[in-house]
Amino acid sequence: MPFGYVSPAQAMRDKAEYARQGIARGRSCVTLEYDGGILLMAPNPSSALHKISEIYDRIAFAAVGRYPEYENLRKAGITYADITGYQFDRHDVTARSLANYYAQNLGTIFTENLKPFEVEIVVAEVGDRPDGDQIYRISFDGSVTDEPGFVAFGGQADQVSAALKERYSADMSLTDAFGAALAALSTSGNGERNEIAANQLEVAILDRTRDHRAFRRIRAARLEELIRDSRPDSKTDQNTSPETPPSDASSGSAPVGDDGPSPPA
């Protein structure tokens, strides 16, 4: 319990600082739109414990921070979506209402709990057409932001976001979007590029064209293929969208280590 008197303003600031530090300790996660839907990517050494998950037919969830906390939120979100879809209809479940639900929940937790949740989550929904795609970011205090196009959150979010902004353009192909996301996540502070191996990556897409459930994980052979195809040096003639190559050639350094307060390896 707090020792002596702490002003409510100070207590809030302390909580916010605590949560921000917790989130900054881990790795970043990126979400971006491409021509066929939405791509979500995060470094994750574990193949069993996920940061990116399916919530509903066309809605995905991605989180950074403390695993038990965002895992709880993930399950609550799935419950909320399934109950709404069951009570009304599957088409009545939207990312917007889910984002508001998370905002309410996280806001209450931030205010009432002794320790806030050290999480930042993104809820993404793929539309029938590109202009129907939505990405919402909900932070630890319950504030919701609409993030059109792309978002990087958690870890060194500013750096990754800047790197992503350089490479992102609307209506990219999956390969190009993949390359942009991977490059942004691989960029470390001093501009070097640290390679992330396929088994250290968690990747999923919301595929607009799929029936019923749009969410699909990209793993194993398909993931290796995408990593290969998205390298700047393996560009084929069909690849027309501009892509800034990384500043150095790959140094072949070992993949960046573990994840801080995220899923144990």
220 scored as a contact of other proteins (CB under 8 A): no
109 scored as a contact of other proteins (CB under 8 A): yes
229 scored as a contact of other proteins (CB under 8 A): no
Q: Which stretch binds other proteins (CB under 8 A): 7-15, 100-108, 199-207, 218-226?
A: 100-108
DSSP letter for each residue of 220-259: HHHHHHHHHHHSGGG--TT--S--PPPSS----PPPP---
One of 20, 46, 72, 192 touching other proteins (CB under 8 A): 72
Q: Which is nearer to other proteins, 6 or 83 (CB)?
A: 83
Q: Which is nearer to other proteins, 71 or 195 (CB)?
A: 71
Q: Which is nearer to other proteins, 113 or 250 (CB)?
A: 113
What residues contact residue 117 under an 8 Å CB cut-off, 6+ apart? 19, 65, 66, 69, 70, 73, 106, 109, 110, 140
* Least distance (Å) between residue 261 CB and other proteins: 18
79 scored as a contact of other proteins (CB under 8 A): yes
Tokens coding 3: 């020792």
One of 75, 96, 165, 228 touching other proteins (CB under 8 A): 75
Q: Helices (DSSP H) in the chain: which residue ranges?
A: 8-25, 67-87, 95-112, 157-167, 174-186, 220-230
3-state secondary structure at position 152: strand
One of 34, 70, 80, 153 touching other proteins (CB under 8 A): 80
112 scored as a contact of other proteins (CB under 8 A): yes
Among candidates 42, 48, 86, which has minimal Cα distance to 60?
42
Measured CA distances, 116 to 17, 119, 121, 134, 182 (Å): 10, 9, 14, 27, 30
83 scored as a contact of other proteins (CB under 8 A): yes
113 scored as a contact of other proteins (CB under 8 A): yes
50 scored as a contact of other proteins (CB under 8 A): yes
Identity of the amino acid at 184: A
Q: Which is nearer to other proteins, 54 or 176 (CB)?
A: 54
Number of residues that bind other proteins (CB under 8 A): 26
Residue 235's CB is within 10 A of a number of other CB atoms, namely: 16
Residues that bind other proteins (CB under 8 A): 48, 50, 53-55, 72-73, 75-80, 82-83, 85-87, 104-105, 108-109, 112-114, 117
